[in-house]
Amino acid sequence: MGAVLNLDKKDGVFTITINRPERRNALNEAVATGIMEALDQAEKDPTIRAVVLTGSGSKAFCAGGDLQPNAEGTPFAIEAHDPQHYVPKLFQKMEACRLPLIAKVNGHALAGGFGIVCGCDLVVARDDALIGVTEVKVGLFPMMILPFLLRVTPTRILMEMCLTGEPLTAGDAINHHLINYAVPADELDSKMDWLLKRITVNSPTGIRLGKQALAKIREMNFETALEYAPFMLANMARTKDAIEGFSAFSEKRRPEWTGR
């Protein structure tokens, strides 16, 4: 069996590709662990400005948990000696990632695969890709991915998806703000490149600290958030990137970011 992930680094973008096309890039423990390790690798590299998650082939981004009888590392069991399941660990790692995390949905993203999409910051998808939660069709409910689903999916749409198990096309999902862009398959790469260029020209320090603050503010009550935000803004204004940004604005030139 070959590597379950392919990793690539180019022009400040770290691309993680799930490489199980024969299983429709289904999620198992090896895939989850590999993604977590790859995210750590990306965050330690000062040249990386964004991370892209995608799947190999053209059929599936990720079809969710592996349902095959001979599946390795199935997500549908918990070991009594180690109840810390790898799917929540993966989502915690994605939530903590301070780099922009972008899903490139090259094919269907179902069940846990849709959970991974919801855990990303931005989503670019093929307009004919199916996205949704199909667990009810096999007697389950999308328990592990509900925290991310609740964050990005309107309540009525979420309930319809969960209760019917019927997916949406990415073209329809954009009307519910579940993704950012839905494009024809032959435009997926160019749209992704366009979005990445708009992100990677900006301050890496501003993005890292901003994502970190956003994750904390999301869990705070309103009054606590209002106390925390000015503190973070003042700290960010003292970074080398912010000082450079102010200077570049005054001098009407492009900033030269150091990531510090």
Catalytic residue numbers read 135
* Distance between CA atoms of residues 225 and 95, nearest Å: 18
In degrees and rounded to multiples of 5, residue 210 shows phi and psi of -65, -45
* Distance between CA atoms of residues 149 and 119, nearest Å: 8
* Distance between CA atoms of residues 218 and 180, nearest Å: 20
Locus of tokens 């995608």: 54
Locus of tokens 């995390």: 101
Please report, in angstroms and rounded to a whole number, the separation of the first and last CA atoms in the chain.
Answer: 41
Burial 224-235 (b: 16+ CB within 10 A, else e): eeeeeeeebeee
Residue 10 bridge partners (DSSP): 13
Residues 6+ away with beta carbon under 8 Å from 60: 21, 24, 25, 106, 107, 108, 109, 110, 113
Structure tokens at 140: 């389950």
